[in-house]
Structures are given as C-alpha cells and as structure tokens.
Amino acid sequence: MKTSSVTRTRAMIAVLVAACVGIVGVAAAGQPPVAPGLQFFQVGHWVYNAAFQTAFHVDGSTNQVDARVALPGVEPGAQVAQGERSGYVVERSRITVFDKSTLSVENAQTPPAAEVPVVLEVAGGPYLVYRNAGQVVRLGDPAATVPAGGPVSEPAVTGDGSVWLHRVDSGALCELPRGAAVLTCPAQVEPGHTGALTVVDDRPVLVDTTADALRTFDRDGFGPSVPLGVDLPATAQVASSTADGRLAVVDPDRARLHLIDTAGLDQRPVAEPVEVELPGNGRYSGPVATARVITLVDQARNEVLTYDSKGARKSVTKVPGKAGAPRLARGEDDRVYVENQDGSQVLVVDGEKGSVVTVDVGKAADDRSGERPTGSTTTTPSTTEPAPTTTTTPPVDDRKVTSRLTPPVARATAPGAPGDVGAEAGDASATVRWDPAPPNGAPVTAYHVSWNGGGTTVGGGTHSARLEGLANGVAHVFTVVAENEAGRGPGASSGSVVPLGVASAPDVTATTTFGGSTVTWTQPDLRGGTLVHYLVQLPGQPDRQVTGTTTDYTSFTGALGSLVTVRAITRYGPPGSPTSTGHPGTAVVPTLMGLPVVKFVGVRWSGAGRAIATVDVNNSGFPTTCKLSTFNLEGRPPVEVACGGVQEIAIDVPGVDPGRAVDLTLNASNANGNAQPATWRGVPAAGGGGGARRSGTSGGMAAR
C-alpha cells in the first residue's frame, strides 16, 4: 500500500529498539502505552521559520519538508524539540506544545528561566537544560522540572536515557535517570579542575582538561583514568559522543581539531591522537559526532565542515542566508541537522558518509504541493503481519493554510545571537566580551548580560561589560542577549570562569651579613582567601614556598644587589580549591659593598673594672652604630655608640681587676647590613695613652 512521506511523518514513524532486535512501529495518539524496556528513536528534525511563523519537519532520509505547524506569535530563534507524540516550540518565555499526529497546538507551558536552553532529544525526553539557572526540564512522560542546585556545563546522555551533568560551581557529577525527579551525584571533581562530559561506549566520561585525562565514572564514583595525549585548554569544546572510537575535541585557541583514541579506557592499545588544522579565527560551533562523522561550523566563514574519524575532510558546505551562529543538533536518526539563523535553510549531514544536503525550508513553504490531502491516511507495516495499521487525520482547512503560508511583508525581527562570548575573571569581578549580534533589520538597542544571581544591561553599541560584586571562588557562566525594536533574540553563553581575590602586597625587608641574607615580610590583606604559602623569588635562586614570614639565603650567587619578590598565594574553599597569586612586595638585597668593616686596635685599663677599647670602623660613608660587649657583662646590654674611623669606646667590666683577661666583641651595622663581628681576648694594657678620640661611657651600665 503506497503512502507519502508526509503521512508517514505525521503518524510518527519511529525505530523501536528492544534488546538487539529492531522493530518498526507507530507512535500514534490513542495507542496503548509502550512496553517497558522499549525505546523510540525519532526521525528527522523540526525547525521554526520566523518569516512564515511555522514549524517545519525535515525528513533527513528524503531531504524533504513533509509536515508543518502554523505557530503565529512565536519569537524568532525559537528551538523545536520533538518527543514520541508531541513537539515543543521553546522560547525564552513560553513552551508551546503541539500534537505530532494532528499537527495542532495543544497548550503552552512556562519555562523555569528566561534563557536559551540546551535541547536533548533522547529516550525519555526531550529535555531542556537551563545551564545558568541550573534547571532540567523533562518534557516527556513523566514531565518534571528538576533543580540541579547550581549552574551546569554541557550535558551528556547515555543510552538508558540518563542525563549526566557537571556542576561547574561545586564540581559534582550528577545523574538524572530516566523518569526520575531527583538528581544523584555519585562523583566529585577535584577543586580547580575544569572539564567537559562526554559518552564513550555508552559510559559517562569526564574529559579533565586540567589533568589532560579521560576519567570514567558511574553510580559508584570514579573508575579508570587514561591520559589524553594532548594538552587541552579549559576552553576546549568536546563532542558529546565518539565517532569510530575517537573523541573529537576542538581547541579554539589554536584552531585545532583533536581526534583522541578512547581505547585506553578498556585497557586496549591506544593509537596516537590525530591533529587537524582548522580554518577560521577560533570561532566554531560543535563538534557534533555521529557513528562515523564529525561535524562543526566555522562561524567566521559560515561553513559546515565534516571529517571522518581519521581526520580526513569529507565536505565543506556554505550555510545559506545571513551570517551568524548556526545551530547544530544531532538527530536520533544519526544525522546532524544544521539550521541557519532564521530557520530558512536546514543542512542535513549524513552520519555515515559526511555528505551534506541543503533543504530550502522557505521554498518548501511557498510550494504547497507536499501539503497533506484532505482525509489522507497513514499506513505502516506491522512487525509480524503485512496488514497495515491506519490512522485517519482530520481534514485541513485549505483557506487557513493559504493564509498561514503567505509570506509577510519584510519586517525587522529580533536580533540573532551575539558571537564569540567570552569572560575573563578578576578579583570579585569579571569582564565579558562578545561580537555584535546580527541586527535582523533593526539596530540593536541593548545587550542584556545575565548570570546565576544577577544581570545588567548595556547599550547596543557596547560589546563588553565589567561586572563587579561577584562572589570569589564561585564559578560563573554569563549569557548575552541582544535586543532591538522587535524584541530580544537568542542568547549565547561564555565558558565558566571563577573570580578570585588577589592578596595585597606584603611589606618586604632584606638584610645582608657576611653569613648570608635574610628576607622578612609582613602578612598582607588576603582578600578573604586562605593562605596557602608565600612565593619568594630571587634571581639566581630557586623559587621558594614559605609558610612563615622570613627566609634566609646562605648562598650569594646571583642574590646580592637583586630584587627579591614576595607574593601571597591564597585559595578559596577547601584544600585543592582554585588559588590566586597576590600582588608582589619587593626589596633590594643589600650587597657586601657598603657594609661596615670593624677591627680592634688595642685595649687598655682605665682603672679597676673599666676598660678602654680602641677600634677602627670603616663605615663606607653611611651612618653606623657600634655595639661593644664582653663576656664579663653576664647578660647586661652592650655599650652602643655611633662610630666611624678610629675611636675609643669605654666599657665597664665589673669584678675584673687589672692583670686579668677580658673577652670583647664589637658589632656594627648600617643601612646596608651588618658587619662581620670583631673579637678581642687578652689582658688589657696598663692605663694611659691611646691618641684616639674617645667615645662611650659607663652610662650604658647605670642600670646594673
């Protein structure tokens, strides 16, 4: 019995998988519930065309538009997700539900956040993941809105319908099982580590871009970890699945596509990573992987690029229409669908060959030859009998269809998404930058920047925003939305950044003696962080990590006369949390040049219990202080005088009669440091003579 592709789609052809047996079935309204353990895979892709205010279904197997639903009043840039029986048109302020069998609008729902979500068309779904708000909406049965507790990264999905999420603020790795309404978080990423989630052989895997490793995890926590073999930045874009056992990762900073062999997760021999040089300036959408093909979009050239798992380019296809950020989606039919900015063109990527076919949705809207005949029927062969199952659809009012498909007069629409949104963290702050959004017929009047816990608005001619008052140590993702007279367009988000407080500079002092140099400092303002250690750097010496506030250098190599730098290293959160390097405090390590040089000329008695030391002090022209002490003082303070040249210093030595020996020590210091001490031991000469100028009295001993 012949049937058209229109009626096949409207009857919801789906591939039904049970164990290893493939079954073809029909998901029509009024049918009995699906048996447990069975799973529907949806065919094709829905796209919303703002000019015609209509959602169109593109059949990837025929590259034809075979169904449409009129949806007046939907904002431009809306996404369309499909489930087993319903389609969902997702706007920032509304989710419109339509029946895929009757192609009629059923109801509308209110989303949990005014941001553009990640759409997942998977078993048990579809799902909408609101990354900044940390909310997951399941539109399938049973419908639910599940809080994640904080912002999340790009999700990953395993074959059983479980959605896996990475909390970017806490590092928790969480699972939302199919049909569940509560997240479970069995694993925790170490603080300070960045990464992305993917699926390898139907297992969730963390791509740790800090450790450059693949790490398996499941409901029991982390499993094996294997090296990536490449150095990835935190900005790496990771495919959510593999192609022929290789994981595709885009390094936008170096314009490179890495194809990483994942065999090591099963302890099999690992092939070397494949590196592909990409065109463009580092602005890419994707990568998206099918069974054998990797797809990404060069946003600078507005081109779709496809590669096989060995890195060979399969095709380069221009995206028709206005430049912007095309939207990529992997269909459950193992094809990749690329929408241009206004939904007028859909590029269908063959998941096996990498070839690309462009479907002109606007032309199909003008050409009503594919419109379903009144009273048409849909038949699909049974898995056991050739007799068809028939679903009769209601007649279509031809007059209404005509009015709905008449293209409106050209008018301005809401702007497109801003390009290349990036964020740079500071101290309790971040700077967000973006490329201008396509205006779509009317000047952009404002950009709205939002994050979990706040938002701000800047003028349409501004393409950056400095955001203050952010919480240090907390991950932030920023979304930018453009607005013109027609409304707000879709948003684009930055990667996750963590603001960190920067400790102030310590006050540093350096002194030098003939025994070495000593560096001391004060504890600075740590700006709310916890001190990890101080980083002390001196040319010619290894860097030091010191927990106290002083350190000594006994080797002078490359040190004397150099600038020593001390910074406080702080962290935010428990051990292992992100750290911040404080502002530098500095001091010059004094050289031996300019230090005082002292020696004894002689010592004589000046009566019982009193000696006169004649000393020679070379103070290099700097004010210098001398301290004369003796063992016989038994802990009393030394005599302290200003000194320079040859002079006499008197010191009391109580209890020592002339004719007995005394022990004297002379220290001197100036702004350059301390002299090498001079010592004298012996029996002082009888009193008289000297010729040197006298200094010092026993006044220093008055308190004895």
Q: Is residue 299 part of a domain?
A: no
**Across all residues in the chain, what is the average pLDDT?**
81
Q: Is residue 644 part of a domain?
A: yes
Among 588, 615, 648, give the residue marking a domain's end.
588
Task: Give the mean model confidence (pLDDT) for residues 78-87.
Answer: 91
State the pLDDT at residue 308: 94
Q: Is residue 111 part of a domain?
A: no
Pair 607, 659 in one domain: yes
Q: How confident is the model at residue 282 (pLDDT cuts 50, 70, 90)?
A: low
Q: Is residue 453 part of a domain?
A: yes
pTM of the model: 0.52
Pair 564, 619 in one domain: no
**At residue 626, what are phi and psi to the nearest 5 degrees?**
-110, 145
Task: Give the mean model confidence (pLDDT) for residues 672-692.
Answer: 76
Q: Is residue 531 part of a domain?
A: yes
Pair 521, 584 in one domain: yes
Among 588, 615, 643, give the residue marking a domain's end.
588
CATH number of the CATH domain containing 583: 2.60.40
Pair 606, 696 in one domain: yes
Q: Is residue 515 part of a domain?
A: yes
3-class SS of residue 404: helix
Q: How confident is the model at residue 446 (pLDDT cuts 50, 70, 90)?
A: very high
Pair 601, 583 in one domain: no
| Distance (Å, whole) CA 500 – CA 579 | 7
Q: Is residue 52 part of a domain?
A: no
Pair 577, 604 in one domain: no
The pLDDT of residue 418 is above 80: yes
Domain count of the chain?
3
pLDDT tens digits, 141-153: 888 999 988 899 8
Pair 606, 687 in one domain: yes
CATH number of the CATH domain containing 616: 2.60.40.10
Q: Which of 57-71, 464-478, 495-509, 689-703 has the lowest mean pLDDT?
A: 689-703
Q: How confident is the model at residue 471 (pLDDT cuts 50, 70, 90)?
A: confident
Domain span including residue 581: 508-588
Task: List all residues 6 or more positions away from 500 whose beta carbon is below 8 Å from its beta carbon.
Answer: 425, 427, 472, 473, 529, 570, 572, 578, 579, 580
> Rg of the chain over CA atoms, in angstroms?
39
Q: How confident is the model at residue 41 (pLDDT cuts 50, 70, 90)?
A: low
Among 526, 561, 588, give the residue marking a domain's end.
588
Q: Say how many Å lie between the first and final Cα of the chain, rounded.
A: 123
Pair 686, 614 in one domain: yes
E strands present in 148-290 = 156-157, 163-166, 172-176, 184-188, 195-200, 203-208, 213-218, 221-227, 237-243, 246-251, 256-261, 274-277, 284-289
Pair 627, 560 in one domain: no
Pair 512, 573 in one domain: yes
Q: Is residue 541 part of a domain?
A: yes
Pair 638, 697 in one domain: yes
Q: How confident is the model at residue 197 (pLDDT cuts 50, 70, 90)?
A: very high
pLDDT tens digits, 509-528: 988 877 788 999 999 999 88
Pair 461, 442 in one domain: yes
- The sign of the CA dihedral 366, 367, 372, 378 is negative
pLDDT tens digits, 602-638: 999 887 788 999 999 988 888 999 999 987 666 678 9
